[in-house]
């Protein structure tokens, strides 16, 4: 389905999760799997987790550190974050 959206409409699907610091490790794992669910090497889903500073700490120190885009874990203005997301 995501591949179809990308191929037919030339759109990247963006999933934004607010209050993401409330997610359990198992829920974070499910979201991570969604981003790599396609069979080829390309992901058609961009995941943006929004939350309190404790979320950044959890992601940096946990099993998810390798999945975090450079420059995305900051207090940058929304314009900077959107530029980073568009570049993905």
Q: What pLDDT is attached to residue 7?
A: 66
pLDDT < 50 regions, the chain = none
Please report the pLDDT score of residue 70 as a whole number: 65
Q: Determine the pLDDT at residue 45.
A: 79
Report the pLDDT value the prediction gives residue 36, as an integer from 0 to 100.
74
User: How far is Cα 75 from Cα 60, in angstroms, rounded to an integer?
Assistant: 15
User: For residue 81, what pLDDT is reported?
Assistant: 65
> CB of 1 within 8 A of CB of 11?
no
pLDDT at 6: 60
CA pair distance 1, 6, nearest whole angstrom: 9
0.75 cut: is pTM over it? no
């Amino acid at each position: 389905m995501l591949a179809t959206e990308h191929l037919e409409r030339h759109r990247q699907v963006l999933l934004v999760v607010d209050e993401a610091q409330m997610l359990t490790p198992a829920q974070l794992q499910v979201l991570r799997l969604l981003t790599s669910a396609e069979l080829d090497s390309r992901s058609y889903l961009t995941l943006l987790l929004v939350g309190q500073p404790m979320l950044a700490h959890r992601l940096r120190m946990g099993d998810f550190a390798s999945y975090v885009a450079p420059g995305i874990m900051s207090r940058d203005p929304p314009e900077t974050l959107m530029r980073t997301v568009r570049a993905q």
